[in-house]
Amino acid sequence: MDDQELQQWVERVSLASFGRPFQHRARFNRRLRATGGRYFTRSHDIEISWQQYTEYGAEDVEKIIKHELCHYHLHLLKKGYQHRDADFKTLLAQVGGTRFCKALPTAAKRREPYRYKLVCSSCRTEYLRKRKLDPRKYACGKCRGKLKLHTLDLAHKS
């Protein structure tokens, strides 16, 4: 499937589910990984994750399209188009769109491991961190004791 076929698909879903035409641009974005799609308020364009389509198929992507079209139509009607708005939640339920897309398996694999451990010198509570920080600026959350920073050796850890 290419962008032109996606455009036609979004136009069909818009007319069938919302009774209103989609008059802007829809395209795939091959870099979207953490989200299934995006709606741009300035240009009114929609981007859909290519990875969601290849991994989960047309049925799940159609739910994502409906989600993005909810943003689109409500924004153009000057109604509440954000996730927290009642208008958005109601319309999404009516058309059968999804609130959240499924997580991609590649996103879980690329998680960064913990590199640092903070240890309280008083109560020995341990805090794992991915980023390095200055322990002088922080205190233990349990006893307010001083923290000492340790670097974890990732080569020996499995």
Mark out the alpha helices in the chain (DSSP H runs): 3-13, 50-56, 58-76, 86-95, 105-109
- Residues 6 or more apart whose CB falls under 8 angstroms from that of 94 comprise none
Distance in angstroms (rounded) separating the CA atoms of residues 15 and 22? 8
Distance in angstroms (rounded) separating the CA atoms of residues 27 and 24? 10
* Tokens found for residue 66: 């409906």
Nearest residue to 90 via CA among 70, 117, 109: 70
Tell me which of 55, 62, 68, 126 is the catalytic residue: 68
5 is catalytic: no
Catalytic residue set: 68
